[in-house]
Amino acid sequence: MRVTFLGTGSAMPTGERFQAGLLVQDDGRTLLLDCGAGVLQRLQQSGVGYENVSTVLLTHHHLDHVADLLPLLKARWLAGEDHLEIVGPQGTKGLVDDLLSVYDYMQDKVDLQVREVVPGEFSIAGFDVAAYETRHSLPCLAYRFDDRFTFSGDSEAFAGLANFAEGSAILAHDCSFPDDVDVSNHPTPETLGRQLDGRDIGRVYLTHLYPHTEGRHEEMLESIGAHYDGDVRFAEDLTTVSIE
């Protein structure tokens, strides 16, 4: 399995990091997780391209996770790709209908399948996925791909999510802000470190990074390291991780 970080940023631009997006590939199958602004460009830079992404799985409906959905749809239409599947938590059908109602000319241009999923297990694009509800300001799902990869989506750090991720070779976790930002709905390094303490996880990548984190990576890693002694790194756009 290969995981490529397409966008490691968030709702406020850093000038370097695009909004949320991750590519999961295994054995010829490809799945896009989230589709924030800039993900379409990164897909092209990754060498995979929008033509090869026919399924998108959304963690939740905040703009920094869905902004490039219609641009992806339009690019595929223009390239003659005739279908796209969009899967996400409850409300995804309404979201897609509402977006298309604004851009009437995009209606019925491709065969668009929209599916809603709930916490539990389901299959998508040939992947078996487990979903777990996170703690965020909108309903949001974390996703796990067997023992290889877990993506937190947007979430506070909490024991349930750490349990869900336990045993993963790779965990990509929201770490939006440094410790001195007063925040709910997202972790700080300290809260994340406390929840990861004692967990068996191969490597943790920090993502969903606000501009507040720029220049402060070292102290953030130290803060996590005060509680959790595992391998923790900052994700960067276009970093690819191979997972056995």
Our finding on whether 154 is near Zn ion (CB under 5 A) is: yes
Piece of 46-54, 100-108, 147-155, 231-239 that binds Zn ion (CB under 5 A): 147-155
Nearest to 155 by CA among 172, 168, 170, 169: 172
The least CB distance from residue 5 to Zn ion, in Å, is 14
Torsion angle of C-alpha atoms 194, 195, 198, 203, degrees rounded to 10: -110
Count Cβ atoms below 10 Å from residue 98 Cβ, excluding itself. Answer: 10
Our answer to whether residue 231 is catalytic in this structure is no
If the CB atoms of residues 1 and 175 are measured against Zn ion, the closer one turns out to be 175
Interface with Zn ion (CB under 5 A), residue total 3
The least CB distance from residue 39 to Zn ion, in Å, is 12
If the CB atoms of residues 89 and 189 are measured against Zn ion, the closer one turns out to be 89
How far is C-alpha 231 from the chain's CA centre?
A: 20
Strands (E), 125-189: 127-133, 141-145, 149-151, 170-174
Structure tokens at 57: 């799985």
Piece of 49-57, 152-160, 191-199, 226-234 that binds Zn ion (CB under 5 A): 152-160
Binding mask 41-80 for Zn ion (x = CB under 5 A): ---------------------x-x----------------
182: left (phi over 0), alpha (psi -120 to 50) or beta: beta
The least CB distance from residue 133 to Zn ion, in Å, is 13
If the CB atoms of residues 62 and 194 are measured against Zn ion, the closer one turns out to be 62
Structure tokens at 71: 């641009």
The least CB distance from residue 33 to Zn ion, in Å, is 12
Torsion angle of C-alpha atoms 26, 122, 87, 242, degrees rounded to 10: -20
The least CB distance from residue 140 to Zn ion, in Å, is 6
Q: What φ, ψ does residue 129 adopt, rounded to 5°?
A: -125, 140
How far is C-alpha 234 from the chain's CA centre?
A: 14
> Which among 34, 64, 68, 237 is annotated as catalytic?
64
If the CB atoms of residues 154 and 156 are measured against Zn ion, the closer one turns out to be 154
* Residue 91 DSSP SS3: coil
Active site residues: 64
Q: Using CB under 5 A, list all residues that contact Zn ion.
A: 62, 64, 154
